[in-house]
Amino acid sequence: MRRKAGIAAIQQKKVEGEKFKEKGAVIQENQLENMTKRLEVFKKNLETFAAKHKEEIKKNPHFRKQFQEMCASIGVDPLASSKGFWSEMLGVGDFYYEIAVQAVEVCIATQQRNGGLVELDELRKRLVGARGRAVHHQEISNDDILRAIKKMNVLRSGFSVIPLDGQRGRYLVRSIPGELSLDHTVVLQQAKNSGFSSVNGLVTELGWNPVRAEKVLNELLRDGVAWIDTQGGDTKFWFPVIFINSKLE
C-alpha cells in the first residue's frame, strides 16, 4: 500500500510539474508579446520623432549621432536598407553611401604617401574640403565617417578602423589589402606621439626582443606604411600617417 501511495505521489508531482511548465510557457509568451507590442509603439514614436526633426538630423552631426545611438538602443538601423522609411524620410542611406565613396577616393589618392593608412581627423579634413565645393553641402563628423566605413565592412572591401589613442578619439583608417597583425597595431600605437619608432624603442618601452622588433618594423617598411631614416645613431622608422597629420593640426 505504501508503495502505491508513493507512486501516486510521484505521478501527482509530475502532473503538477507539467502544469507549471505550461503556465511558465504561457507567461513567457505573453511577456514576449507585450514586449513586441511596446517595441513597435516605440518604433512608431521614433519615426514620428525622425519626421519632426528631419532637418536637424540631416544638418547637425552631434544630433545625428545621438539619433543613431537612440536607434541602436532598440535594434533599429537607419542604414540597414536603401529603401523604406529611413531612406525616403531622412536620406541617411544615400548620405553615408556618399561619404563611403568619397572616403575610398581620398584613401586611394593618398596611398602612395601614407601606405594605405590615414588618420581619421585628416580624412575628415579632406572630405570636408571636397564636399565644401558641392552644391548641397552637409556637415560631417568623425562619427559619420566611422559609420560609413563600418557599413563597407559588409562588402569585405579591406577598409577597417584601428584605434590609435582611445582617450583622444584618434583612429587610423586602413585601406590596404591583407591584415595588420596585433604587433603592427601596437607599434603604431607606440609611435602615436612621436611619429616614429625604432628597434631600441620597442625593446625599451614594450620589452620586446630585438629580433621581434626588427621583424615588425621591416614588415611595415615593406608595406609602405613606414619610412626609414638611417641618419644618426639609432635607425628610425617614421610613420607618415602620424607625423604628417600632426603637422596639419
Q: Residue 84 half-sphere exposure, CB side, CA atoms within 13 Å?
A: 10
User: Highest-confidence range of 7-16, 27-36, 205-214, by mean pLDDT?
Assistant: 205-214
Spell 202-222 as b/e; 16+ CB within 10 A means b: beeeeebeeeebbebbebbee
CA 51, distance to chain mean position in Å, is 27
The strands making up 227-229's β-sheet, listed across from edge to edge, are 196-197, 236-238, 227-229
| Residue 165 confidence (pLDDT) above 60 | yes
Residues sharing a CB contact under 8 Å with residue 172, sequence separation 6 or more, in sequence order = 117, 118, 119, 120, 161, 162, 164, 188, 241
| Residue 247 confidence (pLDDT) above 70 | no
Assigned CATH topology for domain 180-249? Arc Repressor Mutant, subunit A (1.10.10)
Measured CA to CA, the distance from residue 46 to residue 148 in angstroms comes to 22
Dihedral sign from CA coordinates of 176, 180, 186, 187: negative
Q: Where in the chain is the domain with CATH 1.10.10.10?
A: 37-176, 180-249
Lowest pLDDT segment from 85-89, 161-165, 240-244: 85-89
If one compares 23 and 169, the residue with the highest pLDDT of the two is 169
Q: Is 121 helix (H, G, I), strand (E, B) or coil?
A: helix
At residue 1, the pLDDT reads 44
CATH code given to domain 37-176: 1.10.10.10
Residue 142 has what DSSP assignment?
A: H
- Contact criterion met (CB below 8 Å) for 79 and 93: yes
The pLDDT of 190-213, averaged and rounded, is 92
At residue 169, the pLDDT reads 77
- Contact criterion met (CB below 8 Å) for 140 and 124: yes
Nearest in space to 64 (alpha carbons), one of 76, 74, 52, 54: 54
Measured CA to CA, the distance from residue 122 to residue 103 in angstroms comes to 11
Per DSSP (E only), the strands in 167-235 are 170-174, 196-197, 227-229
If one compares 101 and 47, the residue with the highest pLDDT of the two is 101
Terminal CA-CA length for the chain = 92
Lowest pLDDT segment from 57-66, 180-189, 195-204: 57-66
| Residue 128 confidence (pLDDT) above 60 | yes
If one compares 195 and 132, the residue with the highest pLDDT of the two is 195
- Contact criterion met (CB below 8 Å) for 237 and 198: yes
pTM of the model: 0.61
User: Could you read off the pLDDT of 25-75 as tens digits, one per residue?
Assistant: 777 777 777 767 776 777 777 777 877 877 777 778 888 888 878 777 777
Nearest in space to 106 (alpha carbons), one of 64, 148, 65: 148
Q: Is 164 helix (H, G, I), strand (E, B) or coil?
A: strand
> What share of the chain in percent tops pLDDT 70?
73
At residue 57, the pLDDT reads 77
The grid coordinates listed for 120 are: 581619421
* Concatenated DSSP letters of 35-94: HHHHHHHHHHHHHHHHHHTHHHHHH-HHHHHHHHHHHHHTT--TTS-SSSHHHHHH-HHH
The pLDDT of 234-243, averaged and rounded, is 86
Q: How many other C-beta atoms can be found within 10 angstroms of the C-beta atom of residue 31?
A: 10
At residue 248, the pLDDT reads 44
User: Could you read off the pLDDT of 73-96 as tens digits, one per residue?
Assistant: 777 776 665 555 556 666 566 777
Mean pLDDT, the chain, as a whole number?
77
At residue 135, the pLDDT reads 41
